[in-house]
Amino acid sequence: MKLEISKDKLEEIPEKIILTSSRRKSAVARVTIKPGNGIIRINGRMLTSIQEKWRKEIIKEPLTLLKPLLDVVDIKVNVEGGGKMGRAQAIRTAISRAFVKFFDDLLLEQFLREYDRYLLIQDPRRKEMRKWGGPGARARKQKSYR
């Protein structure tokens, strides 16, 4: 599965700034995308400065899929709340949404949706609430029969 992008699409870059956001659990990512030369900053730091390889791979997933489009835009990400995994997944969804909104292309949206629908929609799963009678949502107190 490969995305075909015409040269005309890359030459006719829209002069606009797009803001998108996404959430995963309690993490919130806000992305600003504008015409530029491929600079990606997350909370003011370059993407290359992220140490954990697995986290970097999750964030880079939409960027590797849309590599030809990456060189013509600058991406600025602000992320807060949540843990490392939730933040990475929120960033990846927000970046994908920003590309679709910036280039306004149905084929691009369809390509991302076929690859992984969670690149464009939020994951609705949340932590289940703890209930009485036990230490967690489903676990119950042990009963002694002696």
Strand ranges (DSSP E) for 55-133?
73-80
pLDDT digits (tens, 9 = 90+) for 35-72: 988 889 999 899 888 888 998 999 988 888 888 888 88
CA–CA–CA angle 60, 29, 56 (5° rounding) = 25
Residue 87: count other Cβ atoms within 10 Å of its Cβ.
Answer: 25
- Collapse the DSSP code of 100 into the 3-class scheme (helix H, G, I; strand E, B; otherwise coil) and give the result: helix
Q: pLDDT digits over 96-106, tens only?
A: 999 998 888 88
State percent of the chain over pLDDT 70: 92
User: Is residue 9 over pLDDT 80?
Assistant: no
All structural domains of the chain, each given as residue ranges with its CATH number in brackets, are 11-119 (3.30.230.10)
Give the CA dihedral 24, 30, 35, 38, nearest 10 degrees: -60
Phi, psi dihedral angles at 144 (to 5 degrees): -95, 130
Mean pLDDT, residues 122-133 taken together: 88
CB 94 within 8 A of CB 120: no
